[in-house]
Structure 1
Amino acid sequence: MKKESKKTATKSLRSKPNAKSPLTKATSKGDLLKETEASVLSLEQISQLTEEIKSSPKFYNNIPKLLAQYTYIDSSNIEDITKARKLTKLLFKVFKKLLTEGRLSFTARDTADKKQISSWLRARYEAFKIELLLSLQIVELHQESKYYKLDILDIVIKLIKLESSHCGPAGTEPYFATKLYRSLLLTLLQTGDEKNSLKDGTIDNYLILEFKEVLFQYQDLKYYFFHEIQQELNSTQLENKVLAFSNYLTLLYDQPIYEDFDNAEYLVEYVPKLAKTELHFKLAFEKCWLGLLNWNISFAQNQTVLGLVHKRLLPFMENQQQLMDFLTDTYDLGFENNHVNTCILSLNGLFELMKNYNLEYPDFFTKLYRILNPDLLHSPHKTRFFRMLDIFLTGDYLSSTMIASFIKKLARLSLTAPISGIVIVIPFIYNLLRRHPACMVLIHNPNPAENYQDPYDDNETDPDNTRAIESSVWELETLATHYHPNIASLAKIFSQPFHKYSYNLEDFLDWDCAKLLDGELSKKYKTEAGLEFEPVDRVFGAESEEAQLKAQREVYMSGWVW
């Protein structure tokens, strides 16, 4: 029997290569085997030993026998995993009873025997938690393994609640089981496979998605989530930082951190005051994010973080100026790599800081002008950019030379832009011209130079030196003959007197090719649509040559007979 047990142990959950538990190991595999002559038990025997433990303290020695069963679980065997699920649930019931009855803790006034028994039980409980965390790291060879991990996640959350209620200071003094929670977080952040990473830098990890539902339900879990992670940013447990950040991002990228702090729910009955204070929550949130942003994350993750800044980060930070360095660095990096999306997303965060904290950015309009490149009107973030640009170019203090450069650059970009981009550019330029009448010379110059040549320098990066004010927006005249009738009719507004009020830009920002196409398909025509300039009676010619000559003008394909 011993020989068989040894062979089985080589494939056990505990012998998984590189498996580590964040908890300090109180009891090793050898210790468990020395404590009892353990052997492989059936489910019936496991259930019997569990009932004996719950019936009387004299059967506490059954606990090591049950814990030793993890040694014989083969993670590739469905029956063994099913057995492990049953074993784990039964052991949870045992330790739940012990925790509730206060068997795992003692006071100075307790007897020596009581202290010894409590210490012994506590060591067995620590060994049980280690087995749970190790089991979260097993390789998933079948569906049963996923169910097993979900069971473990549910059990660990319940143990956190039990520990917080029964293992803290006496009475109703606030306490939270931070050690176990930290160990769970470090383990979860290292679960999953990088092959399941998504384009936005998140990851398809069912354990993280399951934990997410619990995390956002309780405010104390959210506070200690940020508090514990920011203390373990350099932990050896977070070896794969790209995977850890993918899991972290998956938890937070699409959820508001909180909506009503004062009416939040808590997992623990007696919550420490720090977790109930909004100031301390914001500080923990801020430190956690700032620490994580120092990691060497992937490009996709960086893009996703930039998209979260204005709605998911800044509103929940106590010192929002702390993000200035990150945003300015990524803004400059976007120009260095000629990546317009990075520039737009960084600018969005910088705009929030400018609006709320009077952030000053050197050469702001020069950098803003550099964003206007052919990729802009193809970008999925162009609507966000034009909303900001409309605000930036509102001030009366801006020179007509600078405004003319922006108008001319946008007109030039519209020549090669998709329909969804041109629809935004035309009303945007119209509004700029109404707002800055000194630039009207771009569409009506009463004193044109002889032998006129366009002086505009398209390669100049400084909007004050492009000579756009000496140019004209002949590009808009070109758009008046655009192949799409909506674009052509919209561009003709520049050839009419400027009596029309400024456009509401929001009416044009959400247009795309699909909407324009749907609009054309849903049109109701009063007459039949013309397919040819000259009407014809027949497609092919007549069979006889005489009839062919007679019907020459009425045949679409003369010389062909059907």
Structure 2
Amino acid sequence: MASIQSSSKKRKNKGLGDSTKRKKKHQDLSDVRKLGQELLSSRAHINNLPLLLNFLDSTSSHPPEFILESLLSLQSFFTPLLPQLPSSSAKPTEDPESIYQTWVRSKFDEFVQCLIQLSLSPTLAEEALRELVMDTLMECVKIGNAGKFHSSIYNKFIHSMVYSVEEADTLLNLLVTKYFKYIDVRYFTYISLEKITRSLDVKECHDIEPKSTDTTNGSPTRASGQLLVRNIHNVISKIPPLEKLGENSEYEMWNGLGVFSKEGKIKSKKVKEKEGKHSEANDVQSSVTISKKIKLKFSKAWMSFLRLPLPIDVYKEVLVTLHQAVIPYLSNPILLCDFLTRSYDIGGVISVMALSSLFILMTEHGLEYPNLYGKLYALLEPSIFIAKHRAKFFQLLDSCLKSPLLPAYLAASFAKKLSRLSLTVPPSGGLVIIALIHNLLRRHPSINCLVHQEDDNETANDESNTKLGIDLFNNEETDLLKTNAMRSSLWEIDTLRHHYCPPVSRFVLSLENDLTVRSKTTEVAIKDFSSGSYATIFKEEIRRRVKQVPLAFYKAVPTSLFSETDFAGWVFHSDAINHVGQN
């Protein structure tokens, strides 16, 4: 045995020496093609294998033609051998055939590593070649594990793509367009992302700048910190949703011998038709099983990602899409309650964006959150009327105040708070406030006393009522029980009758109707006013047909901007006028 190994080693070294000399003398495409043809023709030329692998080294600058030729030859060589090769962790026996297969397996692992590095290499200029490299890599994933989906290779690829700064977007787009339509590819993508996020150090995620490595040799730059979190989010957010999975759904797999097939392969439609109803029942059961398994991996991947310290831009993107792209497909949406309540407690625009998902958990999944109305009340600030996501916020605010079981003091506090804000918000905000108060008064007849409530001085000893016109509402109070809103009135709304913007002054007249008669009144659709702005009001006004135009007519030319009767009791002095008069 020892003599066989020594002779093979001498033959190998001799072949390597001859091939190296030949490479140095002639390094054209015909030589690369000849190396591949010899490798495929006989085992005697097995030493051509490492030579062809050298052309796939991302640290060397080989012409694209050399890379393409060696890639095709190596793929043709490894594809028929993969079902017979041992695993990467298997140890060889003393049998020469076992030693040979173990060595070939090590070269296959090296081939896969070259494909991963080459797909992410910034030196690979041709996108068509990069796509071919990725397709070859996915073929290895498809059949590299004794014909089954090779999750280890795929995990290495996703790990390298997430940690890379260069060309990650290009590969992600290829995955989205070509491979994310396969159920098993999505399944193992979720598994890989969960492993990556669980292995991250929280302190490491706070790094802002990427740790740049030596890029002169063509290897990809390694990302870290917040850039790494962004890369993970880019991948997990672009995986198609699971909405097409169901009891009667058709699914497509990249590898037929995947984790979802008990019999070893997926049956074709013709076989299903021949086997009849019994086969159809089994297929329905397998579809439900696939849906459950993918939901579980989907949930684990997202929950592990949301535990990371997210950059503010990623945080906002997640909150915007969470109620549509994540919550409907989680195995248990209540798992998000900690993340959403923590986000809602932050305040500002983050709270506004978290409200949609939190509202879904409360109304559809039974989440109890007693602090909802207190936090919602605190969000009513003038800045909310110019926020980017104000339209969705106002619609959710109206929905949260829709229940007729709300106590009167709570509805009155919101009505009074909105009424006070009408004095400082833009005209578009005034329209939203009028619509919200209109709905509040119609839903809660117990607060209709706020429309016109006079100070009657019931207790003569009450010092707070000694002066007429005092508003007992405490605008700074955060406790809804202590705002004294029920002892106040909506006097701020009366000032809107004389608002400079005609739509506001016209719309406020709707509050003069008797809103307690529900059969004769209807609620106002908040969505018609929630996204308003100066531009929308202007466009609406210029569309109006004006029948009469007000004109200013003076019998005599005015000598001053205001008449003396406009400001009774006021005297205006001007030093400049007095100086001119003295002269």
Specify the alignment match of 2:383 in structure 1: 375
TM-superposed CA distance for 1:207, in Å, is: 2.9
- Give, as a single letter, the amino acid of the residue that structure 2 aligns with 1:160: V
Task: Give secondary structure in 1 for the equivalent of 2:424.
Answer: coil
TM-superposed CA distance for 1:146, in Å, is: 5.2
TM-superposed CA distance for 1:379, in Å, is: 1.8
Mark the CA change 1:254 to 1:149 in structure 2 (over 3 Å): closer, same or farther.
Answer: closer
Task: Give secondary structure in 2 for the equivalent of 1:260.
Answer: coil
Q: Give the alignment of 1:121-520 within 5 angstroms.
A: 121-139=104-122, 144=125, 148-163=129-144, 167-168=146-147, 175-192=148-165, 205-235=169-199, 240-253=224-237, 256-261=240-245, 262-273=249-260, 277-332=290-345, 334-335=346-347, 339=348, 341-445=349-453, 448=456, 451-498=468-515, 500-520=521-541
Which stretch shifts more, 315-324 or 497-506? 497-506
Mark the CA change 1:34 to 1:353 in structure 2 (over 3 Å): closer, same or farther.
Answer: farther
Contact 1:241–1:295 (8 Å) recurs in 2: no
2:98 to 109, 112, 115: 115
Task: Give secondary structure in 2 for the equivalent of 1:273.
Answer: coil
Specify the alignment match of 1:42 in structure 2: 28
TM-superposed CA distance for 1:409, in Å, is: 0.8
Specify the alignment match of 2:76 in structure 1: 97
Task: Give secondary structure in 1 for the equivalent of 2:326.
Answer: helix
Specify the alignment match of 2:7 in structure 1: none
Contact 1:443–1:472 (8 Å) recurs in 2: yes
TM-superposed CA distance for 1:517, in Å, is: 2.7
TM-superposed CA distance for 1:131, in Å, is: 1.5
Counterparts of 1:188 and 1:349, CA distance in 2: 30
Residue deviations 1:151-206 (CA, integer Å, cap 9, x gap): 43333223222425xx34xxxxxx2110110011001112236xxxxxxxxx9933
- Give, as a single letter, the amino acid of the residue that structure 2 aligns with 1:258: L
Contact 1:153–1:211 (8 Å) recurs in 2: no
Which runs of 5 or more structure 2 residues have no equivalent in the other structure? 1-12, 202-221, 262-286, 458-466, 556-583
Residue deviations 1:218-239 (CA, integer Å, cap 9, x gap): 1111110011221233447986
- Give, as a single letter, the amino acid of the residue that structure 2 aligns with 1:451: L
Counterparts of 1:132 and 1:47, CA distance in 2: 19
Contact 2:57–2:114 (8 Å) recurs in 1: no
Counterparts of 1:73 and 1:358, CA distance in 2: 56
Counterparts of 1:408 and 1:286, CA distance in 2: 42
TM-superposed CA distance for 1:106, in Å, is: 4.5
Mark the CA change 1:106 to 1:180 in structure 2 (over 3 Å): closer, same or farther.
Answer: closer
Which stretch shifts more, 508-517 or 467-476? 508-517
Residue deviations 1:331-389 (CA, integer Å, cap 9, x gap): 22x13xxx2x2112223222222223322223332222111122221222222222222
TM-superposed CA distance for 1:103, in Å, is: 5.6
- Give, as a single letter, the amino acid of the residue that structure 2 aligns with 1:459: E
Contact 1:212–1:251 (8 Å) recurs in 2: no
Counterparts of 1:418 and 1:292, CA distance in 2: 39
Mark the CA change 1:535 to 1:264 in structure 2 (over 3 Å): closer, same or farther.
Answer: farther
Which stretch shifts more, 222-231 or 373-382? 373-382
Mark the CA change 1:68 to 1:34 in structure 2 (over 3 Å): closer, same or farther.
Answer: farther
CA RMSD, 1 decimal: 3.3
TM-superposed CA distance for 1:104, in Å, is: 6.2
Counterparts of 1:420 and 1:516, CA distance in 2: 7
Counterparts of 2:42 and 2:168, CA distance in 1: 46
Which stretch shifts more, 418-427 or 408-417? 418-427
Q: Give the alignment of 1:538-549 within 5 angstroms.
A: none
Residue deviations 1:271-329 (CA, integer Å, cap 9, x gap): 21289622221111111112122222211111222222211122111122221111122
- Give, as a single letter, the amino acid of the residue that structure 2 aligns with 1:268: N
Relative to the length of structure 2, the TM-score reads 0.73
Contact 1:456–1:467 (8 Å) recurs in 2: yes
Contact 1:99–1:163 (8 Å) recurs in 2: no
Residue deviations 1:119-177 (CA, integer Å, cap 9, x gap): 2322222112111222344346xx8265554443333223222425xx34xxxxxx211
Counterparts of 2:240 and 2:424, CA distance in 1: 39
Counterparts of 1:431 and 1:396, CA distance in 2: 11
Counterparts of 2:58 and 2:525, CA distance in 1: 70
- Give, as a single letter, the amino acid of the residue that structure 2 aligns with 1:309: L
- Give, as a single letter, the amino acid of the residue that structure 1 aligns with 2:253: Y
Mark the CA change 1:445 to 1:322 in structure 2 (over 3 Å): closer, same or farther.
Answer: same
Specify the alignment match of 1:86 in structure 2: 65
Counterparts of 2:156 and 2:58, CA distance in 1: 24
TM-superposed CA distance for 1:70, in Å, is: 4.4
Task: Give secondary structure in 1 for the equivalent of 2:428.
Answer: helix
Contact 1:454–1:471 (8 Å) recurs in 2: yes
Which stretch shifts more, 131-140 or 293-302? 131-140
Specify the alignment match of 1:61 in structure 2: 47
Counterparts of 1:330 and 1:369, CA distance in 2: 16
Mark the CA change 1:343 to 1:314 in structure 2 (over 3 Å): closer, same or farther.
Answer: same
TM-superposed CA distance for 1:72, in Å, is: 8.8
Contact 1:430–1:494 (8 Å) recurs in 2: yes
Residue deviations 1:474-497 (CA, integer Å, cap 9, x gap): 222222222322222111222344
TM-superposed CA distance for 1:430, in Å, is: 0.4
Which stretch shifts more, 149-158 or 464-473? 149-158
Mark the CA change 1:343 to 1:120 in structure 2 (over 3 Å): closer, same or farther.
Answer: same
Contact 2:116–2:157 (8 Å) recurs in 1: yes
Contact 1:256–1:312 (8 Å) recurs in 2: no
Mark the CA change 1:256 to 1:440 in structure 2 (over 3 Å): closer, same or farther.
Answer: farther
What fraction of aligned residue pairs are identical, expressed as a percent?
25
Counterparts of 2:525 and 2:56, CA distance in 1: 67
How many residues are aligned here?
472
